Amino acid sequence: MFARKDAEANDHGRGIAGWAVVALVFMPFAAGYFLSYLFRTINGVVSARLAAELGLNAADLGLITAVYFLVLAAAQIPVGVMLDRYGPRRVQSVLLLIAAFGAAAFARSTGPLSLLMARAVIGLGVAAALTAGLKAIVLWFPRERVALVNGYMVMLGALGAVAATLPAEAVLAKTGWRDLFDILAVTTAGTAILIFFLVPERDVEASSAAAGGGLRAILADRRFWKIAPLSGGCIGSAWSMQGLWAPAWLTDVEGMTRTEVVTALCATAIVLSLGAWLLGMIASWTRRKGIRRETLLALVAVLFILAQLALVLRLPLPSIGPWLMIAIVGSATVLSFAIVSDYFPKEMAGRANGVLNVVHFGWGFLAQYGTGLLVAHWAQQDGHYPAVAYQVAFGVNVALQTAALAWFAISRGRHATRKSDDRFSFALYEDFDDLGSYSEQPVLIEEPVAQGKW
């Protein structure tokens, strides 16, 4: 409370700095993202119990799990506007209370419909879990440190995926899935209260004007649509696979026991967390070296496609290897959001991140539910779906990601050709990322370009 009073009295929050910002701003939002990642991946551990107790098939599990992504995608733009208008503290705390209610409702569900509705409420409640943290980082940390701090945010949040493996399995063994969700409900409500009363406020008044115009500028930005399909295709698919279909593959195709599956999921979750830290470090280093983050994102996409092909083609590799690479791709938001933070001013950070997350979560929903629909076309054999069912479903995803990568390459080629003929102001707006770092020096931009008109 004292920190907030000091912040508001001292230029709207500039009275705290250093480790105080880490403790009062970064860590509370990281805790919220931790919970969202736990909710995102927890169905991979409880799905077998849900299927056995409530008689669910692959399509049911796919829809119940994927509705989380659908609601998240639908909420991202209004949440982004609210973040820019009201600030991350208030938005995050209110939404996490909704997530707590959804978790409590999930614990009391008795069939597919009630599970679906409760899961949707959880998705709405964690809709700002990442973007609120990213908005807070943009507001409180220097621009040149944003990618690195984003990496730490995603790293700590991804530990929620670790908590959704062996720790969640230990709780399940003692209490059951209903009590587990009751525990999550209480924890989430406590985190919401912590954020509301601990996090200092930051001035967001300047960003509340022209929200619609800012959103139109984002949607009209060609640089954004150069990377959005590639980022969504890779990150959304990685989330959907780790959140549900990795344990299904390891059980049905690799023949692993329950203990082996949960241990493998724990390993992938740890790699996901470390991958976020590593990508954040690499992004920070390459920025200083003048290497564009778009190049790194494309490299991650190539490795992701190769890892999935190794599964689809059943190459003679250790079964866990490709899944570790897939897990790392789930942390590539570190790169995507750092790229977007360079495209737009901090007053538009919430909306820009929100629009990109629409693509991420929208693709995650389609990939997770679509995989379930495709797999369910094959009959189970001794309680397991055949390997070909997963190979076909994963192969369709790979084809879509390859198309997104091709679009990225074509778009870059067009931009490179156009730059030689365009005037400087247009080139600056179109390829701002080519500068390698944000320039604080004033530049002359023609009025139509400055207004986002093409």
Residue 436's H or E segment, with its range, is none
* Distance in angstroms (rounded) separating the CA atoms of residues 229 and 405: 8
C-alpha pair distances (Å), 199 with each of 26, 39, 157, 196:
9, 23, 18, 6
- pLDDT-derived band at 451, boundaries 50, 70, 90: very low
Residue type, 351: R
Q: How many CA atoms lie within 13 A of 343 on its CB side?
A: 31
Could you read off the pLDDT of 336-389 as tens digits, one per residue?
888 887 888 877 777 888 889 899 989 999 999 999 999 999 998 888 999 999
- Is the pLDDT at 13 greater than 60? The verdict is no
Domain spans of the chain, in order of start: 2-203+216-450
SS3 362: helix
Backbone conformation region of residue 115, classed left if phi is above 0, alpha if psi is from -120 to 50, else beta: alpha
SS3 201: coil
User: Which of 3-17, 23-37, 123-137, 176-190 shows the lowest per-residue confidence on average (mean pLDDT)?
Assistant: 3-17
What is the token pair recorded at 236? 């959304």
User: Which of 66-75, 236-245, 313-322, 344-353 shows the lowest per-residue confidence on average (mean pLDDT)?
Assistant: 344-353
Contact (CB, 8 A) for 47 and 65: yes
SS3 452: coil
At residue 7, the pLDDT reads 39
Determine phi and psi for 68, rounding to 5 degrees. -55, -50
* Distance in angstroms (rounded) separating the CA atoms of residues 327 and 335: 15
Contact (CB, 8 A) for 356 and 228: yes
Could you read off the pLDDT of 94-121 as tens digits, one per residue?
999 999 999 999 999 999 999 999 999 9
Helix axes of 58-86 and 211-219: crossing angle, nearest 10 degrees = 130
Could you read off the pLDDT of 203-260 as tens digits, one per residue?
654 444 444 557 788 888 888 999 999 999 999 999 999 888 999 999 999 999 989 9
State the Cα angle at 296 between 290 and 298, rounded to 5°: 135
User: Could you please report the per-residue DSSP string of 9-69?
Assistant: HTTTTTT--THHHIIIIIHHHHHHHHHHHHHHHTHHHHHHHHHHHHT--HHHHHHHHHHHH
Q: What average pLDDT does the segment 291-317 reach?
A: 93
At residue 375, the pLDDT reads 93
CA dihedral 18→22→23→28, nearest 10 degrees, is 160
* Distance in angstroms (rounded) separating the CA atoms of residues 436 and 201: 31
Choose among 241, 359, 234: nearest CA to 302.
234
Contact (CB, 8 A) for 335 and 283: yes
* Distance in angstroms (rounded) separating the CA atoms of residues 323 and 59: 22
Q: What integer best gives the mean pLDDT of the chain?
A: 83
Contact (CB, 8 A) for 133 and 153: yes
Q: What average pLDDT does the segment 155-184 reach?
A: 92
What is the token pair recorded at 386? 């055949």
In the chain, DSSP finds a helix count (H) and a strand count (E) of 23, 0
Determine phi and psi for 408, rounding to 5 degrees. -60, -45
The CA radius of gyration of the chain, in Å to the nearest whole number, is: 22
pTM more than 0.75: no
Which of 20-23's residues contact partners 24+ apart within 8 Å by CB, and which partners? 21/140, 21/141
* Distance in angstroms (rounded) separating the CA atoms of residues 80 and 84: 6
Q: What average pLDDT does the segment 293-307 reach?
A: 94
Determine phi and psi for 256, rounding to 5 degrees. -75, 155
Token pair 């320039």: residue: 439
- CATH assignment, 2-203+216-450: 1.20.1250.20
* Distance in angstroms (rounded) separating the CA atoms of residues 194 and 134: 18
